[in-house]
Structure 1
Amino acid sequence: MVCQKVLFWWAVVGVAEMGVSARLLEDVVSSLRNLPVIGNILQASFHPVFRPRLPSLHPAGHREGDDEDLENPCYEDLGCLYTSKDFYHPFHRPMNVPPYSREQVNVKYTLYTRREREGTTVGAQNVKQLINTSFSPYKKTKILIHGFLDTNTVTWMLEMTRALLRHEDLNVLAVDWSGGSRALYTQATANTRLVGLEVAHLIRRLQELSGLNPRNVHIIGHSLGAHTAGYAGERVPGLGRITGLDPAEPYFQHLPPRVRLDPTDATFVDVIHTDTNSIFALGYGLRQPVGHLDFYPNGGGEQPGCETIARVPLTAMTEGKNILEGLDAAQKDLVACRHYRAPKLFTDSIFSTCPYVAFQCESYKQYLAGQCTSCGEDGSKCARLGLEAERWPGRNRTQHATMFLSTADGPHYCLHHYRLIVEVAYIVGRLGSVRGHLHIYAINADGQIRELHMFHSAKTFHPGRSYTFLAHHRQDLTDTQEILVHWSYEASPFDPSTFCVLFCDTSLPLGSISFSSVDQVANRRYNNYISEGPDNVAMCHKQGHNLILIKSGETVKLASSPKCDLVTRRLLALLDAVSRPIRYVKAISDSPELVEPVKWVAGR
């Protein structure tokens, strides 16, 4: 299918170069425009790159004029659109067409409040009518903007509107620009600039007519709607916040800030990236950071649950308040699951008891390795994805931060994260390291056992060292006081030193494990609250032995105990002693505290 699509577009380009009449190409464009939604999205994946460069194909309904008017159209009281060289690039943005006319795009706004939950719709040229509704300039205002091919009845907008109104008494304005979004992708990108003018005009008029403060306005845009929010924000001084939900990649990636969403478009700009794969891999989202705060759930690319179509029937049954909304969400999941994950994460964050804490890191790989679990001294190295992102301690500075976190496959996406510090003991006379897998299970106060999902493959453990792991679970396991540790040896085919041939020891000399809730520690810092209690829970052998020798295939239980703190201090002292002459470490060989583990049996 992909190959056929590519060949098709190259064929169209070839025909255009040979001088075939524009009439034939207009017929082709017209046919494509009438494709079903799913077919149109697939076509749009390739269209931005392969569309022929034909200046004669101007959209119907645009006013005639000279070349300057086509390049810089003006719209009565909205203002003008000036197209500079920034809007052209031989590969990333090879062609620009003028927007449709204001009448053809036909922007409309639907106001939702707690008094008007079914919504009141007014046209963009009749903004004054909003003053006679339940709109209140003294409440916060959220403006939602949909993306390519959608309308303001797309399920994510309806779900987010309901959640926002349950959470707080405010104004929600849903923007409908379906007259401009349901076009070929190149035309839709041009139309976003006009829609940006309309939304900016809306805010300015409400400011004039009712005293609305732009600082209390928050624009939330998905895909092309994210860049539309940027176009609006650049024309509204002092706009409070813009949230970009997986901003569209084609025609925006690697282009100057004027062309796309950027941090200057509002006082605070936060962005959630969920589909950062290349457009050639059917990825629709922007990879580059474009806000003050950029979140990359699961690294920003693959999203849990999107790798299989088995989720689609479940989506139809669980999302939306009726079957029509469910089917709409299911269709989006089928063709662009990762792209639509961003608005779902934002909506889920509104009422989630799970905090959605993300951490600043150089890469997602480093994040998974547990190297980025600190909020820093001023708390700016962590932030909460979603509605609470505006409480980020770094938002009043000029800095930019890239944040990572891991999420689940839904319907509730947030995960609780835990940091595990494994102390490997040193045994005099035992040389070499061991390689294998650690599996850790948390035991809660009711005796229920939950496996912690750890982000690592087989790992080599060296004696006398500590190792940090990041783990997660859907449930809050902060009350954990006991854990089960399972060890399994595995040799590396690329490291001969890990091979075990006769008389070798594949057991793991474990000292202790420190267990802490990453989210809990982050929330304390986020709320500027300093706890008097310890952040880590140290766990060791129940009798407080310094070392547990876990044979491959065995499982042992570790428990929190005051003795564990002593064990940790002994291990630290031992690590210090290892670097000194051998007489300082001889004492460990005489210690009677070396014990074999007690095997754990399920159900005991």
Structure 2
Amino acid sequence: MMNKTSATLMLQTIMVLMEKQNASDVTNFPGSYGEDIERCYGIYGCFSKAYPWTENRPDNYFPVPPEAMGVRYPTFSRRNRKIPVLLEADNVDKIQNANIDPRGPFYVISHGFIDGGHKKWEVLGLSNLDNFHFIGHSLGAHLGGYCGHALQKKYNLKLGRITGLDPAAPYFSKTVTLVRLDRSDAKYVDVIHSNAVPLYFSGFGITEPIGHVDFYPNGGSTQPGCKSASQQRPSGDIYQQVLRVSCNHERSYEYFTESIAPSCPFLAVQCDSYDTFLAGNCTTCDHKHLCVPMGYHSHDIYKRLHAAELVDTNSNVALYLMTGGAKPYCRAHYEVKMKVSNSSESHTHGPETGKLSITLVDRNNNKSDTRFLDDEQKYYKPGDIETRMVAVKDTGHPPLSVIVEWKYETNLFNPMTWRILKSPSIFIDYMKISSIEYNTDITVCPKMNKPVVANLPTMMKTKYCKFNK
């Protein structure tokens, strides 16, 4: 485990790998008398303390000398999967003799705030960098941006891809593109936002879309399975506090790792906002709502969309999806449209307050996990139509039937929840279940128009809908 200076060390590492900015790139505002605003470090170039590096960034320090950092470049290949070759940034011979196949592909992984990697780029004699994929978490995501910018400026080479895993927000949010990762740094930039909330709410990730595609799993701010800040035990050790609240921040690289060989498509849908997505307003993959798998395989789909002129490399696509709270995280998405019966029996029974849950059953009788349509109890009255997006573990096939349960809780202070002469139940006319991943939909109904009684699972099938006609 790294010590408590790791955050400062990482910031300094990033600064060391910045490229010297020429007069057209920076405005050199004079500092105080006798203050130098530029410092040089041999092959690493010179680093400025002038605009824009100091705009909205109170820390105004030069990087420490490279030899004081102990930066390492462990390199793995098919020939050395377990024991890496340790490259040296200024040792060209060692890089050329590292058994690296120039045909690629190449993956460079850069750590974030409390983790630990980087590698020299330009000595392999490559005509292009299409086969290079830089994967950076947190501060490492912006390091990828610096590398992409420097390669274009110094060698006229453009990286094939940069993946930003919850790029760091402090001192990077709301800055000019030169200071942070942006889509000009590579031919394809994809970003996974998992902790995009302000730092004072224990958020470390950047909020704004900065790539060609930006994924916002579960809204992009907090992730299921991670405790909220209010649930954390207080501690006087700030390092331990960072570790506890970093669950949401670290979930981005866990999603990416799973996306290499996912248990389901990890499909994300273009939508105006996460709330709009949850409301079931973006449930079809079409020209208005593009669908791209989150993570490793997103580039292949993006290239197809670009070839079909459905995306513009100068603009951004924001996509949303839901995940589970434990591995495997991937989930299948369903739009659920439910109508409360408008029958005389339903009117006689009257409105109900409670929660509806569904369990999907496929052709092999495999059941998904059970999901509530709403987290809190909801007031339903005859004739109401509700539409929600839910995500469940994929069974491998689209559903054919649905198990519905009505959860009812009495609240002493809410007369609407009191039941004395009638049993807690709800009359459901139908449920329409539409799959995004499978592009299928079914409509199911309760048998003989019977109500769904509290805590009594009710099987709803398509063939039962004929009784409602």
In the superposition, the TM-score normalised over structure 1's length comes to 0.61
Deviation for aligned residue 1:225:
0.8
Deviation for aligned residue 1:436:
2.6
- Trace 1:223-238 onto structure 2 (pairs within 5 A): 223-237=138-152, 238=158
Q: What's the CA shift string for 1:5-59, capped at 9, x where partnerless?
A: xxxxxxxxxxxxxxxxxxxxxxxxxxxxxxx846557999xxxxxxxxxxxxxxx
Corresponding residue to 2:458 among 543, 556, 569: 556
Return closer, same or farther for 1:501/1:516 CA change in 2, 3 Å cut-off: closer
Deviation for aligned residue 1:77:
4.5
**Greater share of helix residues, 1 or 2?**
1
Return closer, same or farther for 1:410/1:331 CA change in 2, 3 Å cut-off: farther
Corresponding residue to 2:58 among 94, 112, 135: 94
Return closer, same or farther for 1:247/1:509 CA change in 2, 3 Å cut-off: same
In 2, the alpha carbon distance for the partners of 1:397 and 1:382 equals 16
C-alpha contact (below 8 Å) 2:49/2:62 kept by paired residues: no
Aligned residue for 1:49?
A: none
Corresponding residue to 1:399 among 312, 315, 336: 315
Return 5+ residue gaps in structure 1 as ranges. Answer: 1-35, 45-65, 153-174, 176-198, 310-329, 522-534, 568-592, 596-604
C-alpha contact (below 8 Å) 1:445/1:480 kept by paired residues: yes
Return closer, same or farther for 1:383/1:149 CA change in 2, 3 Å cut-off: same
Q: What's the CA shift string for 1:49-82, capped at 9, x where partnerless?
A: xxxxxxxxxxxxxxxxx98994233444544434
Corresponding residue to 1:388 among 297, 300, 315: 297
In 2, the alpha carbon distance for the partners of 1:502 and 1:110 equals 70
Return closer, same or farther for 1:331/1:410 CA change in 2, 3 Å cut-off: farther
Equivalent position SS for 2:200: helix
Deviation for aligned residue 1:373:
2.3
Aligned residue for 1:294?
A: 214
Equivalent position SS for 2:143: helix
Equivalent position SS for 1:130: helix
- Trace 1:378-527 onto structure 2 (pairs within 5 A): 381-390=290-299, 391-392=301-302, 393=305, 396-427=312-343, 430=347, 433-445=351-363, 447=365, 449-456=367-374, 457-476=376-395, 478-488=397-407, 507-521=425-439
Corresponding residue to 2:252 among 323, 338, 342: 342
C-alpha contact (below 8 Å) 2:355/2:373 kept by paired residues: no
Letter in 2 for 1:476: T
Letter in 2 for 1:351: A
How much is the aligned-residue C-alpha RMSD, in angstroms? 3.6
Aligned residue for 1:6?
A: none
Corresponding residue to 1:260 among 176, 180, 205: 180
Corresponding residue to 2:131 among 216, 219, 238: 216
Aligned residue for 2:18?
A: none
Q: Tell me if 1:284 matches 2:173.
A: no
Identity across the alignment (%): 31
Q: What's the CA shift string for 1:513-563, capped at 9, x where partnerless?
A: 222332223xxxxxxxxxxxxx10222245xx5x444455544221133x7
- Trace 1:194-213 onto structure 2 (pairs within 5 A): 202-206=120-124, 210-213=125-128
In 2, the alpha carbon distance for the partners of 1:119 and 1:299 equals 37
In 1, the alpha carbon distance for the partners of 2:193 and 2:171 equals 17
Equivalent position SS for 2:298: helix
- Trace 1:36-115 onto structure 2 (pairs within 5 A): 37=2, 39-40=4-5, 70-89=36-55, 92-105=56-69, 107-115=71-79
Return closer, same or farther for 1:69/1:218 CA change in 2, 3 Å cut-off: farther
C-alpha contact (below 8 Å) 1:106/1:123 kept by paired residues: no
Q: What's the CA shift string for 1:224-282, capped at 9, x where partnerless?
A: 11111111111223221111112122211222222111121111111112223332343
Equivalent position SS for 1:235: helix
Return closer, same or farther for 1:73/1:375 CA change in 2, 3 Å cut-off: farther
Aligned residue for 2:96?
A: 131
Return closer, same or farther for 1:464/1:235 CA change in 2, 3 Å cut-off: same
Letter in 2 for 1:71: I
In 2, the alpha carbon distance for the partners of 1:308 and 1:398 equals 36
Aligned residue for 2:273?
A: 363
Return closer, same or farther for 1:507/1:334 CA change in 2, 3 Å cut-off: closer
C-alpha contact (below 8 Å) 1:483/1:559 kept by paired residues: yes
Deviation for aligned residue 1:400:
1.1
C-alpha contact (below 8 Å) 1:418/1:472 kept by paired residues: yes
Return closer, same or farther for 1:499/1:280 CA change in 2, 3 Å cut-off: closer
In 2, the alpha carbon distance for the partners of 1:236 and 1:297 equals 31
Aligned residue for 1:53?
A: none
Return closer, same or farther for 1:273/1:139 CA change in 2, 3 Å cut-off: same
Aligned residue for 1:4?
A: none
Aligned residue for 2:237?
A: none
C-alpha contact (below 8 Å) 2:7/2:114 kept by paired residues: no
Corresponding residue to 1:372 among 278, 282, 285: 282
Equivalent position SS for 2:74: strand
Letter in 2 for 1:426: N
Number of aligned residue pairs? 421
C-alpha contact (below 8 Å) 1:271/1:290 kept by paired residues: yes
Return closer, same or farther for 1:109/1:451 CA change in 2, 3 Å cut-off: closer
Return closer, same or farther for 1:112/1:212 CA change in 2, 3 Å cut-off: farther
In 2, the alpha carbon distance for the partners of 1:86 and 1:351 equals 40
In 2, the alpha carbon distance for the partners of 1:426 and 1:335 equals 47
Q: What's the CA shift string for 1:120-152, capped at 9, x where partnerless?
A: 122100134322232122222111111234333
Corresponding residue to 1:250 among 162, 170, 192: 170
In the superposition, the TM-score normalised over structure 2's length comes to 0.77
Return closer, same or farther for 1:442/1:147 CA change in 2, 3 Å cut-off: closer
Compare CA radii of gyration and give the structure with the larger one.
1
